[in-house]
Amino acid sequence: MAKSEGYVSAQYLKEAAQILQKFKERTYELMELQSGQHILDAGCGPGVDTIPLADYVGPQGSVTGVDIDSEMLDKANQAADVAGHAQFVRHVEASVAELPFKDNSFHAIRAERLFQVLPNHIDPNVVMKEFVRVLQPGGRIVLADADWGTFSVNHSDAALERKLVAFFAGQMRPNGYAGRQLMENLIAQELKVTTLEGHALIQTDPEKTTVGAWLQKTALEAGMATQAEIDRWDGEIKTMQAEGRFYSSVNMVIAVGHKA
Ligand SMILES: C[S@@+](CC[C@H](N)C(=O)[O-])C[C@H]1O[C@@H](n2cnc3c(N)ncnc32)[C@H](O)[C@@H]1O
């Protein structure tokens, strides 16, 4: 079973889907879907999007999810069964760098938070070329991703905050800057960019962010921060949490390209 480089669990993705629900709905809307269309969700994870997308295209159409992680795909297939959509929602094990579909197969394609976990040995342009190949003329590609370089936390030690954010974006994600690159991914394929949006994802609960144990332990082990710095970081966050004044924000980008 292949695990992606910036692996996160199916449970994490389901919890994230609740936080990102409005953002996700915006990506569905931008796909401009109609009943009977055939669509692809690339890097579909446990099917948190393929199931709601099924309602847009209905049983006359189809939703195909593709992912390299068979455990995610098992969960996605179970979810399709439970939703009663198994006949027209399928999940396929494959890499987005080599899609097992014919040219011009889909009316629309979406890829959410795929590019931030793409390992360095996979060229995003190769993936984009595959998307364009399997997309029908007149079709749309909706890309959505975080720009982790914009992650900000209200902390009194701004230098430490910048250091930890740069470490998270640059070292803890295969491509933490994916969000800011989405437009150029489309332009490189000569697609017409029709929409470019940024959505600030604000959190007031540190448990729902990446400021906690994972970041702190990894930064400490990598020698990026001292124990004293981590204690100061964590102590202030815990105080802010207790006093209800924790604040963090990250820019989530959506870019839409049309194939002529
Ligand atoms: C951060 S998750 C996002 C999942 C889903 N799009 C969502 O919004 O919940 C990224 C997904 O991309 C998949 N992935 C990573 N590299 C891939 C590749 N080369 N081909 C197909 N899927 C890939 C991972 O297995 C994972 O399920």
Question: Does a structural domain hold residue 3?
Answer: no
Question: Does a structural domain hold residue 2?
Answer: no
pLDDT of residue 5: 64
Instruction: Name residue, tokens 């803890």.
Output: 172
Count of structural domains within the chain: 1
Question: Does a structural domain hold residue 138?
Answer: yes
Question: Does a structural domain hold residue 25?
Answer: yes
The tokens for 188 are: 């490189």
Nearest CA, atom 14, ligand 1: 43
Question: Does a structural domain hold residue 1?
Answer: no
Chain mean position to CA 14:
12
pLDDT digits (tens, 9 = 90+) for 169-227: 999 999 999 999 999 999 999 999 999 999 999 999 999 999 999 999 999 999 999 99
The tokens for 127 are: 């993936």
CATH number for the domain spanning 250: value is 3.40.50.150
Distance CA 177, CA 28 (A): 23
Spacing, Cα 43 to ligand 1 middle (Å): 3
Question: Does a structural domain hold residue 210?
Answer: yes
Question: Does a structural domain hold residue 52?
Answer: yes
Give CA torsion, residues 182, 185, 186, 188, to 10 deg: 150
Q: Is 193 exposed, middle or buried (0-12, 13-18, 19+ CB in 10 A)?
A: middle
Spacing, Cα 108 to ligand 1 middle (Å): 18
Domain region containing 207: 10-258
Residues with CB under 6 A from ligand 1: 4, 8, 13, 17, 43-45, 48-49, 66-69, 72, 95-97, 112-114, 117-118, 122
Ligand 1 pocket mutation, candidates 4, 199, 250, criterion most atoms within 8 A of CB:
4
Distance CA 227, CA 212 (A): 14
Entry pTM = 0.95
Query: Which amino acid is located at 210 in the chain?
Result: T
pLDDT of residue 13: 84
Chain mean position to CA 161:
23
Question: Does a structural domain hold residue 219?
Answer: yes
pLDDT digits (tens, 9 = 90+) for 1-42: 466 666 778 888 888 888 899 999 999 999 999 999 999 999
